[in-house]
Homo-oligomer: A and B are copies of this chain.
């Protein structure tokens, strides 16, 4: 199914489809045409059909899509039918907020542990997630088959931690540190650079002004 290379642009749109389809499903909408989806999502019906054709199409044109089937299938493509074990590295404000944000969501993303360098935090918990010394990170990751490391440490520490994990079996780093990480190809990286995002916002404000 995924033999062809799917473009980053298409992949970037999948979570948004998933989000809208969840709302439609929860609202009891059983079938939806690409025209209806187009009008709700403000993208063209032709783009929706093209996007879905990357994955086999999902249903007959004219008759519309089965909302729940489409939601489930896009979820599978995104790997959301799988369980993901996660750890947090950096138990500061942002890290703690992320754990709270995802705990109890029952979405298959589970924080098992958090790590920090601050001894005052050792033995404390974020919700139910324990905080341990950073030096235990690598052993914990190896012993517990961790999939995703969520990195919310200062820039100066991020690269050292990435190096510690470079030859581990983790599959991905969700990187909030303000630095681009250099990692082997088997470790996927998704960056959330909050300052970059705010700078883009600032640009669009001032551009609009001109």
Contacts and interface: CB of A to CB of B under 8 A. Distances in A.
> Which 9 A-B pairs have CB atoms at the shortest separation, nearest pair first?
A79-B206, A15-B196, A93-B97, A97-B97, A190-B201, A15-B199, A79-B202, A188-B204, A93-B100
28 contacts: A2-B207, A6-B207, A14-B200, A15-B193, A15-B196, A15-B197, A15-B199, A15-B200, A19-B196, A77-B203, A78-B206, A79-B205, A80-B199, A82-B206, A84-B205, A92-B97, A92-B100, A94-B97, A94-B98, A109-B198, A147-B205, A148-B201, A174-B197, A188-B201, A190-B197, A190-B198, A192-B192, A192-B197
Interface in A152-202: 171-172, 174, 178, 180, 186, 188, 190, 192-202
B192 A194 contact: yes
A58 interface: no
A182 to B, nearest CB: 9
A210 interface: yes
A195 B190 CA distance: 12
| Number of identical protomers | 2
Nearest to A174: B201
A123 interface: no
A186 B192 CA distance: 26
Nearest to A13: B196
Nearest to A179: B19
A92 B86 CA distance: 22
Contacts of A16: 180, 193, 196
B174 A19 contact: no
Contacts of A101: 93-94, 194
Contacts of A78: 199-200, 202-203, 206
A208 interface: yes
